[in-house]
A and B are shown apart, each in its own frame.
Chain A
């Protein structure tokens, strides 16, 4: 799986959009970009994933650059409950030898009142 680079921490004001960047310059053509988050003392939670096109769901939007070397997770209206560590992960969708999800250090997002 391709390596990702994320900022260690970010702050955001409540009600504003939170934009979390991720660099994955070695991503392969068949690798998806996944975002998870982990609220303190809870299990990681799936947010969104995409391959080439931008994606949106009820939680967030995912913007992937045309060269796919970076992406941005957007929380349109951050709330205090969005304070968490956000993990960006790239991996293939199909593997015949096994399927693993390797988490890095992630970005600590703090939403301030």
Chain B
């Protein structure tokens, strides 16, 4: 059972570099999300998407971009990496239903900007 898959798991970036965190889900979920989690802190929503072609900002969108060209994929792009973006990034997906909206998370991507 694949669920939500993120790549890469670990990455070190230099200040000013760009990169894309990949996320794919095989559950046909309409909603997808990107969170970041700093050490010892809770999760903060970066961006989310309610379906292909639709994205919206979360709590901390600055410095990031997303796209949702397909239901399955929701990549997160960092254009000019900064040390403040050192964090663990979690991708998640869910299916909106009348009985609730359970969110499933990937295993995380550890990013260090030096």
Residues of A within 8 A of B (CB): 32, 34, 36, 41-46, 49, 87, 91, 93-95, 98-106
Docked CA distance A103–B90 (Å)? 13
Closest beta carbon of chain A to B79's beta carbon, Å: 23
Docked-complex contact A104 and B42, CB < 8 angstroms:
yes
Task: Collect the chain A residues with CB atoms within 8 Å of residue B33's CB.
Answer: 100-101
Can you list 17 A-B contacts (CB < 8 A)?
A: A32-B100, A34-B102, A42-B108, A43-B92, A44-B43, A49-B102, A93-B97, A93-B100, A94-B98, A98-B50, A99-B50, A99-B96, A100-B48, A101-B45, A102-B59, A103-B35, A104-B42
Task: Collect the chain B residues with CB atoms within 8 Å of residue A106's CB.
Answer: 42
In the complex, besides A43-B4, A93-B98, A105-B41, 16 extra interface pairs with C-beta distance below 8 angstroms are A34-B102, A41-B108, A42-B108, A46-B103, A49-B100, A49-B102, A93-B100, A95-B96, A99-B101, A100-B45, A101-B92, A101-B94, A102-B45, A103-B35, A103-B43, A106-B42
Q: What's the dominant secondary structure at chain A's contact region? A: loop
Docked CA distance A101–B4 (Å)? 16
B74 interface hit (Cβ, 8 Å): no
Number of A-B contacts (CB under 8 A): 66
Closest beta carbon of chain A to B6's beta carbon, Å: 9
Residues of B within 8 A of A (CB): 4, 31, 33, 35, 41-45, 48, 50, 56, 58-59, 90, 92, 94, 96-108
Docked-complex contact B42 and A103, CB < 8 angstroms:
yes
Known: A43-B90, A99-B31, A99-B48. A93 touches B99 (CB 8 A): yes
Known: A43-B106, A98-B50. A87 touches B100 (CB 8 A): no
